[in-house]
Amino acid sequence: MGSAIEGFHHVKVVRVVNWVGIAMVVASLAQPMLSHTALFIMLCFGMTKCLYTIPLKIFTGKFNSSLDLDLTPLKLIQASGNGLSLASDPAGIVNFLDMVNNLQGDSGRGYYMEMSLGTPGQKLNILVDTGSSNFAVAAAAHPFITHFFNTALSSTYKSTGRGVAVKYTQGNWEGELGTDRVLIPSIAGTLTINIATILSSDGFFLPGVNWQGILGLAYPLLARPDSSVEPFFNSVVRQTGIPDVFSLQMCGAGLSASTTADPTGGSLVMGGVEPTLFSGSMWYTPIKEEWYYQVEVLKLEVGDQNLNLDCKEYNKDKAIVDSGTTLLRLPVNVFSAVVEAISRTSLIQDFTSGFWGGTKLACWLKGETPWRFFPKLSIYLRATNTSQSFKISILPQLYIQPIADVDGTLDCFRFGISSSANGLVIGATVMEGFYVIFNRAEKRVGFAVSRCAVNGGIAVSEISGPFSSADVASDCAAGGLLKEPLLWVISYALVAVCVVVLLILLLLLVLPCRHRDRSGEITDESSLVRHRIK
């Protein structure tokens, strides 16, 4: 932002703070029992725009005129045409409202943000992925992408000479590590970021996608080839000083995931939380391990029916929050139980198994929607108070997903839930219902109902609590499989041990057995064959 605009912001801050001070003085000296409503009117009076969208905690106690109040965290930022909005970045480095609607995409093709890389800047769309940690961009032509990052045209690109390969649940790529300047929307200045340039890939770029790279927002432990490669958001926090928090809103709830549909959008807010993006209460669940955003699922309900599985079944291997995964993915046993419960609860008889398995679509006459036939689905997460839980619920508008029409006469849908061999994944199917806060500073993930999670005027997500967690184990994530990075370390260690053992064996075989024949030459035949036979 320019200096003129920043100056205007400062004026607005002083003006609002003065009115808050006046209101507090009047409330304490003139009318100690002044109602919240009257005080709210006083706050609004004389101001060009009323703060009606901000929940205010009103001071009603005895005012101490000698008390110095630090109001610097209460920075108010002007939004063009939208009144004032609370920003929780005390340093004023970022404007959260500038980040609203900075994403495009949908659950079928992923959510991506336009970024500028290199000098001069080259614009690319970058997929937002909380399930990986590398910032990687296409650096070579590919049939499914329209353009790529040409490192030769950037005067600031520097290669490290290190190769890198990343494998995802679906697809993989290989490339080279380097660094370059990246211009991040709504954050002043350019930053130097680790970039993996994708030179070859298999199943990573797909037909119909409109992104050319991936923005891994998880922890360093998942970075490839090792955790010394600083992930994107870690670099942003270190270089700018913004809070170690980001939040994500994905606005494709109940909309077609067809590759022919126009993309919707969403918001990636770096540095904090934008209150205009959610409604109601916000609930937090602890991050169990800092690699993926691993959380602890206590139970699942289909309709009002508890699946009654051991809670460790839900967390088998791991349970994570991953924006880069399209569906809600469930461990095999949990998936089977969910399908059985939905089949039993729904009003549809003899539903094709191909629909549940993701190989077939279900179609209805155009204009008819199937959502009334299906129950809501609820996931219970452990609260920060570990003796309690809360539940996030999605209506069938989120997991019975429209795909495309057929000949203009049918509307077809897919099942937004799949089985998983490597843990439970809260992907876009669920995340589209919520504003999700990744508070890395306090090691917790927050959920609140997203304001854009509405379909046909109906809210398609719910959140409620607290509930007692006395009926589940104290640690449902215990007893899982070894984590992927640890498995890599063990694998490399075993390979190294095997190599050392083989070298020792070869030395033992070769050195003691070497002898000279009558001509005085060492012969392979005598050392490796004859003496071994004897």
Report the DSSP pairing between strands 135-138 and 122-129.
Answer: unpaired
- Look at residue 84 in the predicted model and tell me its pLDDT: 31
Tell me if 332 is assigned to some domain: no
Tell me if 127 is assigned to some domain: yes
**Residue 89: strand pairing partners:** none
- State percent of the chain over pLDDT 90: 53
Q: What is the band of 10 on the pLDDT scale with cuts at 50, 70, 90?
A: very low
How many domains would you assign to the chain? 1
Tell me if 466 is assigned to some domain: no
Segments forming the whole domain that contains residue 212: 100-242
Tell me if 253 is assigned to some domain: no
Identified catalytic residue from 322, 350, 471, 475: 322
The answer to whether residue 154 scores a pLDDT higher than 90 is yes
- Look at residue 252 in the predicted model and tell me its pLDDT: 82
Identified catalytic residue from 89, 129, 180, 411: 129
Tell me if 282 is assigned to some domain: no
The answer to whether residue 521 scores a pLDDT higher than 60 is no
Collapsed DSSP state (helix, strand, coil) of residue 382: strand
Q: What is the band of 260 on the pLDDT scale with cuts at 50, 70, 90?
A: very low
CATH number at residue 192: 2.40.70.10
Mean pLDDT of 18-45: 41
H/E run at residue 301: strand 297-302
Q: Are the C-beta atoms of 382 and 389 separated by less than 8 Å? A: yes
Tell me if 194 is assigned to some domain: yes
Question: Is 129 considered catalytic here?
Answer: yes
**Structure confidence by residue, pLDDT tens digits, 398-427:** 999 988 766 778 888 999 999 999 999 999
**Structure confidence by residue, pLDDT tens digits, 315-355:** 999 999 999 999 999 999 999 999 999 988 887 766 778 89
Tell me if 219 is assigned to some domain: yes
DSSP 475-506: -TTTT-PPPHHHHHHHHHHHHHHHHHHHHHHH
The pTM is what?
0.74
The answer to whether residue 60 scores a pLDDT higher than 50 is no
**Structure confidence by residue, pLDDT tens digits, 384-396:** 999 999 999 999 9
**Any idea what DSSP says for residue 527?**
I
The answer to whether residue 165 scores a pLDDT higher than 80 is yes
**Structure confidence by residue, pLDDT tens digits, 228-248:** 999 999 999 999 999 999 999
Tell me if 465 is assigned to some domain: no
319 vs 82, residue with greater confidence: 319
Question: Is 322 considered catalytic here?
Answer: yes
